[in-house]
Amino acid sequence: MKHRIGYNRLNRKASHRKAMVNNMVTSLFKHERITTTIAKAKEVRKTAEKMVTRAKIDSVHNRRLIAKRIKDKAVLNKLFTDISVRFKERPGGYTRVLRIGHRNNDSAEMTILELVDKVVEEKKKPKKEPKAAEKPVKEEVVEEPVEEKTVETADAAEETETEDNDVEATDGDEEKE
């Protein structure tokens, strides 16, 4: 029987594994998205979900329990004041694991571990109204006849030009006197 198999040892000693998980959880809460292997992401996800659930109730006891694992005070404060508030109404499932392919050097399958709420904010778009409301009522367009230039209008334009020249010439004559 397989007793006491509740976690992946990740080929590390207990102290190394705990330190690595604590550091990755801190990075997850700091950046809200990390890239890692599938096995590590699944282990970090367990710890992160429990921390967010505990952080929903902001008490001294809960802060001290989480502060054992998160050493950065700024990240600890962000978890209690920002992240837990966003997930207040959510009963669980605060993280998401997205597979992104294989790493080049050792072909390890890589994933992105992120907080669910972060992506929702980025992809939010204003909702469009139904198509029936979008269609404007067509108004009748009345086209006015376009005036065509005739020879008469061209002659009239020439006459105004000559009148302007005569006025300029008379102004110059008066100044000479």
Q: What is the pLDDT of residues 45-59, one digit of tens each?
A: 999 999 999 999 999
Q: Which domains does the chain have, with CATH numbers?
A: 14-130 (3.90.1030.10)
Q: State mean pLDDT over 142-165.
A: 59
φ and ψ at residue 69, rounded to 5 degrees? -100, -35
The 8 Å CB, 24+ separation contacts for 14-21 are 21/47
Q: What distance in Å separates the CA atoms of residue 29 and residue 48, rounded to the nearest whole number?
A: 8
How long, in residues, is the chain? 177
139 vs 117 pLDDT, higher one: 117
* Residue-averaged pLDDT of the chain: 83
